[in-house]
Amino acid sequence: MTTTTVTAPPATAAALARPRPARDTWLVLVRELRPVVRDPFTVIFSLFQPLVFLGLFVPLLVVQTGQATAEVLTWFVPGVLVMIVLFGTGATGSNLQYEIMFGSHERTLVAPISRSALLVGRALKEVVPIVVQSLVIVAIALPFGYRADPLGLALGIVLLAVFGVGLGSLSYTLALKTKSNEWVFWAVQQSLIFPLLILSGVLLPLEGAPGWMRAVASVNPVSWVTEGERALLQGELVSGTVGAAFLAALVLAVLGLVVGIRAIRRSD
């Protein structure tokens, strides 16, 4: 008597390698978070510059405005949180640029993984440093009389996270476009970040600024996010200012992801 063994047809390589965007995004996110978990000091060390601004500008504002330190912190701390996102996620594309220069990015492009996930996973990684750094800054300001509305702080961090995803995606796009030209990346990055920072009212009030500066600030998305962050941390949870801030952050996030995904799909 003979026995017939029925075997299923082998899965094709294409079926095994079929990208699954949600799974792939999670894998990229975990990969990008591993260095942060292994060396969390880098997240704290990147707070050095915002802390310098906090330590130097607050005393100046106290003297100039005549307000108490707690009142000045109420105005200044939300701006510092926005500054963290600008400096942190705005420069994160340099990490991808190093991978491009040393060839590791080329290897990820041929992996059986969705190319869009390579961008989205990286962008979502920026949320973790934003949350940690924001909580650290608020904790440092507490002994000096600063108080933030708890729910407003939670919503404010969500606002910063959405804003950071968009800004990080644009930073990655810049890295993909400049490739190994490191100086071009930093030239463009610095040329954009500092005008956006100064013309957003993060460091100093713009009420007394020239008319053209106030006009530019009125269409600067960073200015909208900053004003929304200040409103949220003071407990103003529902207002036109908050709505405009979330709208600006969301538009930037969608724009950054669309442009970034298109750039990484065309990457070689």
pLDDT in tens, 14-28: 444 565 778 888 888
User: Where do the domains of the chain lie?
Assistant: 21-28+39-265
Distance from C-alpha of 180 to C-alpha of 104, rounded to nearest angstrom: 13
| Percent of the chain that is helix, strand, coil (3-state, to 5) | 75, 0, 25
Question: Residue 219 is encoded by which pair of tokens?
Answer: 């269409």
Amino acid at 29: L
The pTM (predicted TM-score) of the whole model is 0.85
Average pLDDT, stretch 39-61?
A: 80
Q: Rounded mean pLDDT of the chain?
A: 84
- Residue 242 has which token pair? 């908050």
69-84 pLDDT, tens per residue?
888 899 999 999 999 8
Work out the pLDDT band at 259, boundaries 50, 70, 90. very high
Measure CA of the first residue to CA of the last residue in the chain; give whole Å: 58
Six-digit token string for 107: 């290897």
Which helix (H) or strand (E) covers residue 174, if one does? helix 150-178
Q: How far is the C-alpha of 17 from the C-alpha of 94, rounded, in Å?
A: 29
CA of 249: how far to CAs of 61, 153, 189, 253, in Å?
28, 16, 19, 6
CA distance 30 to 154: 23
- The percent of residues in the chain predicted with pLDDT above 90, rounded, is 25
State how far the Cα of 208 lies from the Cα of 189, in Å rounded to an integer. Answer: 28
Count of residues in the chain: 268
